[in-house]
Amino acid sequence: MLPGMFDKTEDRPASSRLLLDQIADKWSILVLGALCTGPLRFNALKRSLDGVTQASLTQTLRRLERNGIVERMVISTSPIAVEYVITPLGRSLEPLFHSIDDWTRTSLPEVEAARRRFDERRRT
């Protein structure tokens, strides 16, 4: 595990950035998306993400758990099972993510056009 991951003395970023600092890492959104349809166990989650390493997934889940976005439920069978469930707080992010997704979809062509213009100006 990364040292200092659970430091309690973290500096408070500007409030607009608080969410993003914690949620906008490489996998969080995809994890949330996967859990929105129902609880999943660790390896099921890992398979549904495709590309994530178990170290990164663990790290992502710990952060989401710490922030109250997902809940980790240990089922004491043998071998052990762990289910991850989205919390109400996590669910409250759904509309936000949908808005982001909508914006992305509708604006993508315009963004790509802008990129082409920019790159063209640079090339000459």
- Helical segments of 1-124, H only: 15-23, 28-36, 42-49, 54-66, 88-91, 94-123
CB 89 within 8 A of CB 69: yes
Q: Please, which of residues 73-112 interact with a second copy by CB under 8 A?
A: 89, 92-93, 95-97, 99-101, 103-105, 107-108, 110-111
Q: How far apart are CA 12 and CA 10, in angstroms?
A: 6
Scanning 1-9, 30-38, 97-105, 113-121 for contacts with DNA by CB under 7 A, the matching segment is 1-9
Q: How far apart are CA 77 and CA 87, in angstroms?
A: 23
Question: Across the strands, what pairs with 84?
Answer: 40, 72
82 interacts with, out of a second copy, DNA, none, CB within 5 to 8 A per kind? DNA
Cβ of residue 119: shortest distance to a second copy, in angstroms? 6
Q: Does 55 engage in binding with DNA (CB under 7 A)? A: yes
Among 41, 65, 82, 83, binds a second copy (CB under 8 A): 65
Question: Across the strands, what pairs with 71?
Answer: 85
Count of positions on this chain that bind DNA (CB under 7 A)? 28
- Helix, strand, or coil (residue 79): coil
Q: Please, which of residues 24-43 interact with a second copy by CB under 8 A?
A: 24, 26, 29-30, 33
What mask of x and - would describe binding to DNA in positions 6 to 45, judged by CB under 7 A?
Answer: -------------------xxx-------------xxxx-
